[in-house]
Amino acid sequence: SIDNAALLERIKCPTLILHGSEDRIIPVAAAHRLNDAIANSELKVIDGVGHLLLAEDSKALAKYIADFCAANRA
């Protein structure tokens, strides 16, 4: 068995976690657990979107990614 918690603790780079509020495949709580486990992570929950973020709201997705990249330039 893989200890995911130990692996997640090893991530040190800025990490963007995107999740749809209406995702019926992976619960939003899983995204919150990832956010808690990864130091320097940022969680954005996109309202009204399910599991297929890109297909359902590509504009919001692109904005969150662009904003995150701009804020985390080396």
Question: Which residue, chain included where needed, has tokens 């995702």?
Answer: 23
Q: Is the pLDDT of residue 57 over 80?
A: yes
CA 44-49-51 angle, to 5 degrees, is 90
Q: Which of 31, 49, 51 is nearest to 41 (CA)?
A: 31
Question: Which residue, chain included where needed, has tokens 């995911």?
Answer: 4
Cα-flanking dihedrals φ and ψ of residue 46, to 5°? -90, 115
pLDDT digits (tens, 9 = 90+) for 7-51: 898 999 999 999 999 999 999 999 999 999 999 999 999 999 999
